[in-house]
A and B are shown apart, each in its own frame.
Chain A
Amino acid sequence: MKGKFCTFFISVFLVIAAYGNGKATKATDVDVDEVVTAGAQIMEHLFCDYGDDTFLIKYRNDKKFIGVLLLDDKNVGHTLQVFDMVTSEKIFEYSKADKQIVNFQFKRNAVIIYYKSSLWEEKIAYDLYTGRVVRRYSSWFGYNK
């Protein structure tokens, strides 16, 4: 009887573990050639439109999205664009003249934008699909790069 219980619990555990593992998307699950080609083509368009700029490129961990921060000759980030790697479509764009972007990072379905600020660390998370503000972070000690 005890053995049956153990077997039952172990099998339940294994099923949950396998399901959980299967759901996680890793960079190794995606087609390398597809992502590389899509990334290069997206950049090709950006080079043509913003030939004089510098580009800070970041992939999301699973390589499903690519974010491109456009920096001017003074190293000031002025526009952030995020593209879907499967469709190559632009899904998010942020550009404001009064705010200088210094960095960005992906967090699940949001992108966190770091702004230049001398007094406190200013960063805001935006939903990639809706463009809405998801969370505002603020703390002392400015993010200066």
Chain B
Amino acid sequence: MDNKLVSIIFLVSLFCTFNCSHGSSDLHSQEAVCKNPDLLGYVFARHWDCDSFLIRYSPYKNLVGVLMIDKHNNGYILEIFNIFNKQKVFDFQPVTVPISDFRLNENNVIVSFSDAYGMQIAYDVYTGEILWQTQ
């Protein structure tokens, strides 16, 4: 009987510990996301001539990507920042084919281009290395 009680208490405390730590981590990420107006202000100021931006976060909220879009709806600069240290980790300016969209993962970005084939290239945001690309 005592053993059962101890087991139940142990399981309940284990569950609570996991839940609390998981929750606080989420809160920490959310707080970091909310508290970066200076980062966006920096982007807006540096690209003052740009009137249109697409902003996406990575699922873990560790990265934020900003795509600068021109009057013809073409993305011409993609910048990715680490939310926690506010450092720019990736910068990409296409030469010929404009960017139509991008998606962020934990350490990489999938860039979609506005060509006839809907070409996509995945880059490692920290090294700039091409991970894969569609033909």
Taken together as a complex, chains A and B put the C-alpha atoms of A56 and B67 apart, in Å, by 9
User: Contact: A55 with B101, CB < 8 Å?
Assistant: no
Determine if A58 is an interface residue (Cβ-Cβ < 8 Å).
Answer: yes
User: Contact: B40 with A58, CB < 8 Å?
Assistant: no
Contacts of A59 on B, CB cut-off 8 Å?
A: 51-52
Determine if B38 is an interface residue (Cβ-Cβ < 8 Å).
Answer: yes
Interface size class of A (residues with CB under 8 A): 20 to 34
Determine if A1 is an interface residue (Cβ-Cβ < 8 Å).
Answer: no
B23-39 interface mask toward A, CB cutoff 8 Å, 1 = contact, 0 = none?
00000001001111110
The segment out of A4-12, A41-49, A119-127 that lies at the interface is: A41-49
Determine if A117 is an interface residue (Cβ-Cβ < 8 Å).
Answer: no
> When A and B form their complex, which 6 residue pairs have the shortest distance between CB atoms, in order from nearest?
A40-B37, A40-B41, A44-B37, A48-B34, A55-B55, A57-B53
- Report A's interface with B, CB cutoff 8 A: 27, 32-33, 35-37, 39-41, 43-44, 47-48, 51-52, 54-61, 63, 75, 103
